[in-house]
Amino acid sequence: MNRRLSSADLGGLALGPVPGIGDETRFHHPWEARVMALAVAMGPTAQWTLDHSRSARESLPFDRYLANPYYRTWYEALCSLLLERGLVTVDEVRTGCAESVGPGRLASLKVADVDRVLATGSPTLRPLAHPPRFEVGQLVQVKATWPDGHTRAPGYVHGRSGRVAAVLGAHILPDRRSRRLVGPFDETPEWLYTVVFQGRELWGDDAEPATEVSVDAFESYLLSNSSESSSN
């Protein structure tokens, strides 16, 4: 079995039946909706990015990550980020009472701006002057080097070979953007590729027939692989 990159790196684990099929309840408790909205509303204050949020969520200990209700993990990560940025104190989170006013430099999301903010989102596509290193059809291998911090190459593709199926443009590299804990954040883009792996390449004899899996991998995750025989 592959090593886990983080508590969130679940791809390939042997777990039981999928729970909740047919459950259409959007929020099981009112607090879940509030946590979702708090996380979304803090986005435009630009104190952190989506990559920081993901990094905070996947930094929870594995047992806690698995046991937590989904939005509890969001809550805990939100608290971590707020504390790390010095925007709240532990006592304030606990009591709900503000001990001091905020730094006064956060422009909070106003109700009149919500629809526009949701309709705009945060595109990650950026111009990049140099051309992509890989082309569609090329055989590549995901580096097996262990990252130092947040990354988006799941453990189950590390060291595996696949074929480039698409060049998706140059996008902000989450690995770099999540490194700096305070802004301005490093939004250096990198070429992004869809890489397709045959089931057997990932799972060996356990692979189901006629299955393939693709991931979207940044250029720095990949090596060119000239040994054409190892893919299929």
For the beta carbon of residue 85, count every other beta carbon within 10 angstroms.
17
Nearer to other proteins (CB atom), residue 56 or residue 139: 56
Planar angle of CA 115, 88, 60, nearest 5 degrees: 85
The rounded distance, in Å, linking the Cα atoms of 143 and 135 is 18
By CB under 8 A, tell whether 46 contacts other proteins: no
Query: Is 136 an interacting residue with respect to other proteins (CB under 8 A)?
Result: no
Exactly one of 95, 145, 230, 232 binds other proteins (CB under 8 A); which one?
Answer: 95
Instruction: Evaluate whether 91 touches 75 at the Cβ level (below 8 Å).
Output: no
User: Under the criterion CB under 8 A, does residue 124 sit at the interface with other proteins?
Assistant: yes
Joined tokens for residue 22: 């047919």
Up-side HSE of residue 159: CA atoms within 13 Å toward CB? 10
Touching other proteins, residues 64-93 (CB under 8 A): 64, 66, 69-70, 72, 75-80, 82-84, 87-88, 90, 92-93
Toward other proteins, which CB reaches closer, 36 or 223?
36
Minimum Å distance from CB 192 to other proteins?
A: 5
**Residue 12 engages other proteins in binding (rule: CB under 8 A):** yes
Q: Rule CB under 8 A: is residue 137 a binding residue for other proteins? A: no
**Burial of residue 94, with CB atoms counted within 10 A of its CB: 0-12 exposed, 13-18 middle, 19 or more buried:** exposed
CA atoms of 132 and 193, how far apart (whole Å): 9
> Minimum CB separation from other proteins for residue 50, in Å?
8
Site membership for other proteins, residue 34 (CB under 8 A): yes
Q: Which of 128, 144, 167, 168 binds other proteins (CB under 8 A)?
A: 168
Choosing from 167, 203, 220, 223, the residue that interacts with other proteins (CB under 8 A) is 203
Reference 123, options 181, 187, 214; nearest CA is 187
